[in-house]
Amino acid sequence: MSWFEEEFEEKRKRIMDMIRDAFRRIREMEDMLLEEGVEERVLDERFTMLSRRQMEPLYTIIDRDEEVVLVVELPGARRDSIDVIVTENEIRIEAHLEEEQVRRALGEYSWYKSLERISWSHKLPFHVDPSRVRVERRGLRVVIRIPKAGIYHAP
């Protein structure tokens, strides 16, 4: 292939990439609309949380063979204020925030200054016997183990 042909081929590929990219972006926008406005939901959630002077913790859910594990991280929480409440179909976590830790982590922005606590509840898609749920505290990490043997669906 000559230098000219190589250059032409490169340009052709770039134009095709741009066209494909344009179509991809249109699909992307459609996907976003179908997702019922993720961005709008994020804005609403954050604004509501800040209005209530509270924030959500970080969490991840792991579905294993014999148990469902919820790992919840509570950065900024006062260690002696963490409450974990397990009911038949809900896990709730409440904690007070350490003011100095929040200030150092999030800076002096006015809307962060007013944050007071962590509040989170997670509705379980099943029912469980709370006495079988194991809650382990590892500093500011809470590991909640729900054995699948204890899971049932409400009538």
Partner 1 sequence: MKETRFEEEINGFLFREYGDLGTPKYLVIGLPDVGLVGAIASVHLVRQLKLEDVIGVDSYSLLPPVVVVSNGEPKHPVRIYSNGSLAVIATDIPIPPASAPPLSAAIVQFARTRGIEAIISVTGVGNPLRFEMEKPGLYIISSDENASRIASQVRAEKLKEGILAGPYALILKESIRKRLSNIVVMADSFLDIPDPEAAAVALEAASAIIGVSVDTRSLLEEAERIKLRLKDLMKETKNVMARMGKGLEYRPPLMYT
Tell which positions 135-154 bind partner 1, by CB under 8 A: 140-141, 143
Tell which positions 105-134 bind partner 1, by CB under 8 A: 105-106
Tell which positions 52-91 bind partner 1, by CB under 8 A: 55-56, 58-60, 62, 64, 69, 71, 73, 75-76
Burial of 138 (0-12, 13-18, 19+ CB in 10 A): exposed
Of the pair 25, 52, the CB lying nearest partner 1 is at 25
Please answer whether residues 82 and 60 qualify as being in contact, where contact means their C-beta atoms are separated by less than 8 angstroms. Answer: no
How many beta carbons lie within 10 A of that of residue 129, not counting itself?
Answer: 14
What phi, psi does 123 have (nearest 5°)?
A: -75, 125
Helical segments of 107-146, H only: 110-113
The answer to the question of residue 19 lying near partner 1 (CB under 8 A) is no
Contacts with partner 1, residue ranges (CB under 8 A): 17, 21, 24-25, 28, 31, 38, 42, 46, 55-56, 58-60, 62, 64, 69, 71, 73, 75-76, 101-102, 104-106, 140-141, 143
